[in-house]
Structure 1
């Protein structure tokens, strides 16, 4: 199943969706599902390391079928990173799969590679002489990304981020405190045997251990949603009033939309207008709003946020959230394949789109209203540089300080808030706010 999932991911599928689909379609035990998930994410996270270690044992890589290479990657991953899987089991399973999925020649090839690795040992990464190459191979991170982070954050912070991103992602959830108090939710989870701790990042967040969050009664009742702790901060920092008219300009799949709507009151006609460029994603927003019991306060529609001027009058909204499309580099722990898919040119192209969205929505917020700009990336080109460019082009706005309920990074000297993956073991995130002054 791991080889199947990884083969699909190598052809462009998302790892999390493939895993969910394979697990849902099978009757494997939770323990086996855990091992499957570990192998799939592990191979993706450490792919550059594993390929470097495999290279000396594959004389003609162009002749090896992609699935056979993936099969060998799963073997190396287990040998290197999983202490509780015996070597004989790794070898037996790998050879059996080669035999079942291939033919006798493939079985012999795979057997030969495994036994040669066992005899000779895997290459030592410390023998890589070029420091950048060694860092890239050790942490399985593209060189351009390491160079960008080092230039922007310094060597020590970059090293700390690299050391953290291949750790497992936390299972974090947000309690819908418009429906149930945090204490009541904690007691309900305790009664169902969940182990958890309060989030140190987001006021309504919990970090669950053990059982999957979507099995909880609270989740099934729409009083709990799966959301990263950092992703809760943009909506939390907006501190909306119940009667506000709010625009969520880039809303799908709707996690932040429902969080914003929870701060509003249907009785006082508060509303979130949620936009996405794709019709099928608008359906996801509507489903999310219905599941979380806020669909009476959410109007979702298909619209490119850069074209809001075609639909909405100036000064329509009290507050606007632009959770902009971005490279997603802050999500590497949760979506490990992102690191191999993006290039510096992608980041530069996205920065232009982000700025054009901000330009388009600027006139739609009322005077004294606030635009919140957020991304799930940690690169300055999409964060600080976009903020600087927007403020330079819009003298009618001024930067205001982003405040969170836990007063995160309270001693920082910047108005914007930067969360890196190594800060709190959450996703990397950026949040900034601009107030319209005239």
Structure 2
């Protein structure tokens, strides 16, 4: 596949930068000034919208995500509680809102090339144009209806920009005929554009994982993520969760990840099932939690085979992994293990404590601490096992967090890799001789995964550890085995696939001296 990331020109004739032009934090363009022709008259007032309720909802979500840098799913969930929409409109509104976030950079590239002065676009006008641009380019909808509704949507936020909207959207209808402006089979830029990805990100995956994995990753990232539920054996009676799904007439099936069966993990066929009273009661009562199957698999890897005297979870967030870890401990030892957690945000520590109380989890202490100072806080060899759930780019979770792809930058990934190398070494100092150290991410970049491991093993503290193979050792020894096969023998690495769990990575070490 040709590397066309430099000097590539789109139909508008302007050079394309990796990922298109990226919105600034205010949703506009760096250096963009006011433009009267775009409807910035001070006396202009938003009109009553003639756009459909679903499109208005998608516009409101996009505006909130842009202004607050919020997570799209969180905004949708909150606004659906107040929206007066039919079930059909809710489904379409959700599809639009997620799709616009997912494809924002690609949509902006197209909108910019259809505008005379894109820097002058009001952020609210751009929000509205994105909704209709997504319909025109990525959905099999009537172009005429999309243009008409797009004009009304823009009119609702800036009446004087209706003419501009009509011109821009009609140009996009014409552009749709040749989109993605190249052959995705031999053009990296066209492949990235077709799947609404920044070009730099597609190139990174191509360089790290190869062409076949890139295509599978791009396609799967744009699909709806499956729903996985973890049964909480600390609260639920045996068979109670499965029975509730049966009463709710929701199909729930057991799960395997990378050939490993995951006990008490259920894949739910109908996403709406969690809103049904029987299932909602389980979640509200702490008898079950929503958690990706790969995350559940990693929690099983992180718990030692013998009861640890002291276990540390680094990067505990809102406490989901804590619940999973203690469930594994209860299964293996018949009791929960001594568990301490670390997170650098006080509000997350409070959430951990509340969730622990709800779910019956033993949580000895939730430390609010910068993970780069673990050794200073706990000293050397303080824990029998340490689990680092590392901060990462989250590229393995793009289906659940579509905003990531246009917010993250190559520099962010480099910074996270450096940070995690420090955190892993700090955690290593706190691990006892004979103790277990686990490093995990929810991303697929080599910089944050394999290269962090390599850097750790070359460090002075890393030299005191040996890696624990987590994968298929037989595959690595088979005739003709590649370096990739060897890597699979060492690490847990779930690939992102349609209708499968998120992409996660884990490496494990034992301290030998």
Q: Assess same fold via TM > 0.5.
A: yes
Deviates further, 162-171 or 121-130:
121-130
User: Structure 1's 117 and 336: CA in aligned 2 closer, same or farther, altered over 3 A?
Assistant: closer
Q: Give the Cα–Cα distance (whole angstroms) in 2 for the partners of residues 346 and 421 of structure 1.
A: 22
Q: Give the Cα–Cα distance (whole angstroms) in 2 for the partners of residues 25 and 204 of structure 1.
A: 34
User: Structure 1's 189 and 409: CA in aligned 2 closer, same or farther, altered over 3 A?
Assistant: farther
User: Structure 1's 181 and 145: CA in aligned 2 closer, same or farther, altered over 3 A?
Assistant: farther
C-alpha contact 2:189 2:199 (8 A) present in aligned 1: yes
Alpha-carbon displacement from aligned partner over 1:104-129 (angstroms, at most 9, x marks no partner) = x22233234445555x4625135337
C-alpha contact 1:243 1:269 (8 A) present in aligned 2: no
In structure 2, the residue matched to 1:60 is 117
In structure 1, the residue matched to 2:289 is 225
Q: Give the Cα–Cα distance (whole angstroms) in 1 for the partners of residues 116 and 147 of structure 2.
A: 20
Q: CA RMSD in A?
A: 2.8
Shift of 1:263: 3.1
Shift of 1:55: 4.5
Tell me the SS of whatever aligns to 2:439: strand
Structure 1 unaligned blocks of 5 or more: none
Shift of 1:278: 1.3
Shift of 1:16: 1.9
In structure 2, the residue matched to 1:282 is 349
Tell me the SS of whatever aligns to 2:414: helix
User: Structure 1's 155 and 312: CA in aligned 2 closer, same or farther, altered over 3 A?
Assistant: same
C-alpha contact 1:270 1:297 (8 A) present in aligned 2: no
Q: Give the Cα–Cα distance (whole angstroms) in 2 for the partners of residues 27 and 333 of structure 1.
A: 26
Deviates further, 267-276 or 70-79:
267-276
Shift of 1:273: 0.2
Corresponding position: 1:252 with 2:308: no
Alignment equivalent of 2:151, drawn from 95, 101, 108: 95
TM-score, scaled to structure 1: 0.89
Tell me the SS of whatever aligns to 2:340: strand
Q: Give the Cα–Cα distance (whole angstroms) in 1 for the partners of residues 495 and 208 of structure 2.
A: 13
Shift of 1:58: 2.4
Tell me the SS of whatever aligns to 1:435: strand
Deviates further, 44-53 or 285-294:
44-53
Corresponding position: 1:36 with 2:98: no
User: Structure 1's 191 and 242: CA in aligned 2 closer, same or farther, altered over 3 A?
Assistant: farther
Which structure is higher in helix share? 1
Alignment equivalent of 2:264, drawn from 198, 204, 215: 204
Shift of 1:70: 2.2
In structure 1, the residue matched to 2:48 is none
In structure 2, the residue matched to 1:437 is 512
Corresponding position: 1:146 with 2:191: no
Alpha-carbon displacement from aligned partner over 1:199-237 (angstroms, at most 9, x marks no partner) = 232433222213152652211221111111111122111
Shift of 1:88: 5.6
C-alpha contact 1:237 1:403 (8 A) present in aligned 2: no
Corresponding position: 1:400 with 2:472: no
Shift of 1:320: 0.9
Shift of 1:93: 3.5
User: Structure 1's 326 and 182: CA in aligned 2 closer, same or farther, altered over 3 A?
Assistant: farther
Q: Give the Cα–Cα distance (whole angstroms) in 1 for the partners of residues 135 and 359 of structure 2.
A: 40
In structure 1, the residue matched to 2:16 is none
In structure 1, the residue matched to 2:427 is 361
Tell me the SS of whatever aligns to 2:263: coil
Corresponding position: 1:422 with 2:476: no
Q: Give the Cα–Cα distance (whole angstroms) in 2 for the partners of residues 390 and 243 of structure 1.
A: 24
Q: Give the Cα–Cα distance (whole angstroms) in 2 for the partners of residues 95 and 345 of structure 1.
A: 38
Structure 2 unaligned blocks of 5 or more: 1-56, 479-484
Shift of 1:276: 0.5
C-alpha contact 1:247 1:321 (8 A) present in aligned 2: yes
C-alpha contact 2:125 2:157 (8 A) present in aligned 1: no
In structure 2, the residue matched to 1:4 is 60
In structure 1, the residue matched to 2:456 is 390
In structure 1, the residue matched to 2:163 is 108
Corresponding position: 1:122 with 2:186: no
TM-score, scaled to structure 2: 0.77
C-alpha contact 1:173 1:213 (8 A) present in aligned 2: no
Q: Give the Cα–Cα distance (whole angstroms) in 2 for the partners of residues 127 and 91 of structure 1.
A: 21
Alignment equivalent of 2:302, drawn from 231, 238, 248: 238
C-alpha contact 2:440 2:507 (8 A) present in aligned 1: yes
In structure 2, the residue matched to 1:13 is 70
Deviates further, 260-269 or 16-25:
260-269
Alpha-carbon displacement from aligned partner over 1:39-81 (angstroms, at most 9, x marks no partner) = 1111122234434444553232223222222212211222344
Q: Give the Cα–Cα distance (whole angstroms) in 2 for the partners of residues 122 and 194 of structure 1.
A: 39
Alignment equivalent of 1:305, drawn from 358, 361, 371: 371
Q: Give the Cα–Cα distance (whole angstroms) in 2 for the partners of residues 126 and 220 of structure 1.
A: 45
Q: Give the Cα–Cα distance (whole angstroms) in 2 for the partners of residues 331 and 378 of structure 1.
A: 10
Alignment equivalent of 2:228, drawn from 150, 157, 172: 172
C-alpha contact 2:353 2:363 (8 A) present in aligned 1: no
Corresponding position: 1:291 with 2:355: no
Shift of 1:385: 0.7
Corresponding position: 1:155 with 2:155: no
Tell me the SS of whatever aligns to 1:110: helix
Tell me the SS of whatever aligns to 1:381: coil
Alpha-carbon displacement from aligned partner over 1:72-110 (angstroms, at most 9, x marks no partner) = 221122234444x6556544443333333222x222332
Alignment equivalent of 1:261, drawn from 312, 326, 336: 326
User: Structure 1's 263 and 298: CA in aligned 2 closer, same or farther, altered over 3 A?
Assistant: farther
